[in-house]
Structure 1
Amino acid sequence: MMQLRQSALAHCFRVPVPADLARAMVAVDADHPNGTEGCDPRGMSVLQQHVAFFDRNGDGIVYPWETFKGMRAIGCGFITSLVLGFFINLVMSYPTQPISVHIKNIHKAKHGSDSETYDTEGRFDPSKFDAIFSKYGRTHLDALTKDEMNLMLKANHNIYDFLGWIAAIGEWHLLYSVAKDKDGLLQRETVRGVFDGSLFERLQDSKKSS
């Protein structure tokens, strides 16, 4: 009976049992049981990998000018990159280390009103990731429209968590602007790639080739 129940849960969430265990260093789903192919975790949590793309000199610290360069590398405009370079470091540097963002402490900067795909230690929770699409992907199995994304953001709001609301809305709308497909959809694989930072590398390579 227990095995049947676990099998049903695995089918529902589309990930291998146990689906509720957070993964420390890989962003897994049913199609990627070992995480992103060719992605070296380098001993970092998934959240740390997400941030490491912006550490342009690889010293474990992200300064505002590095955030600016990273934003430019994935296709953001000059003004947008300048504003985000200042704002992101201003908000995230305090809980990790004054002035700059220290990657080793990035889990301390996790905000509320999010999908909870990152847990409080910066690990990846595949069941929470799957819920993004099983709950809100109403027109496509493995993608979100802009309206569905906004519905998810509204549903994730924690009461009086104004900073969390702003951060979540800003993050997802930025992702949508740089990574939506030609049909205006945010694909599942695109979203998974942003969690472990592999999407940033793909966007950077695409921008260079164009």
Structure 2
Amino acid sequence: MQENATTSRFDIYIANIHKGIHGSDSGSYDAQGRFVPAKFNDIFAKYAKVKPNALNEDELGEMRTANRKEGDFKGWAASKAEWGMLYSLAKDKDGFLQKDTARSVYDGSLFAKLAKKAASSGN
């Protein structure tokens, strides 16, 4: 049976999120997989320069570069892939990743929000 976009699923199990922690990450999860609001808020406090509470593509790149650990090529790639995917899926019409949208990754509600948005726009 072939699935289409309306029936496919991408489940994320927040209880297992600590298994995806890697070097050169933002530190928004601790080693046990608990969300660390202060670390998440620091991302926007330090790097959201054009608009408060939103990051453009260049600002995301700056944040990822600042979090790089020397020689951690896998961590660099993972960070680029994760933040790049989030940016492509969730940026607004002006090219900004809003803080509340990014936060929805951490509470597991991003994909439900994106599906609702797509349904309301007829996509």
Q: TM-score, normalised by structure 2?
A: 0.83
Taking structure 1 as reference, are residues 110 and 180 closer, same or farther at Cα in structure 2, changes over 3 Å only? same
Residues in 2 aligned to 1:116 and 1:198: alpha-carbon distance in whole angstroms = 20
Which residue in the other structure is 2:73 paired with? 162
Deviation at 1:204, TM superposition (A): 1.7
Residues in 2 aligned to 1:163 and 1:186: alpha-carbon distance in whole angstroms = 24
Q: TM-score, normalised by structure 1?
A: 0.50
Is it true that 1:206 corresponds to 2:117 in the alignment? yes
Q: Choose the corresponding residue for 1:134, options 45, 49, 53.
A: 45
Q: Which has the larger radius of gyration?
A: 1
Q: Choose the corresponding residue for 2:23, options 93, 103, 112.
A: 112
Kept in 1, the 8 Å contact 2:44–2:52? The answer is yes
CA deviations 1:130-178 (Å, max 9, x no partner) are 1001110111111111100100010011111111111110011111111
Aligned residues: 114
AA of the residue aligned to 1:70: R
Identify unmatched segments of 5+ residues in structure 1. Answer: 1-68, 74-100
Extract structure 1 runs of 4+ deviating beyond 6 A. none
AA of the residue aligned to 1:128: K
Residues in 1 aligned to 2:54 and 2:13: alpha-carbon distance in whole angstroms = 33
The residue correspondences of 1:180-195 to structure 2 (distance < 5 A) are 180-195=91-106
Superposition RMSD in Å: 2.1
Which residue in the other structure is 1:93 paired with? none
Q: Choose the corresponding residue for 1:124, options 32, 35, 47.
A: 35
Deviation at 1:207, TM superposition (A): 2.5
CA deviations 1:78-101 (Å, max 9, x no partner) are xxxxxxxxxxxxxxxxxxxxxxx9
Identify unmatched segments of 5+ residues in structure 2. Answer: 1-7
Deviation at 1:109, TM superposition (A): 3.0
Deviation at 1:102, TM superposition (A): 7.9
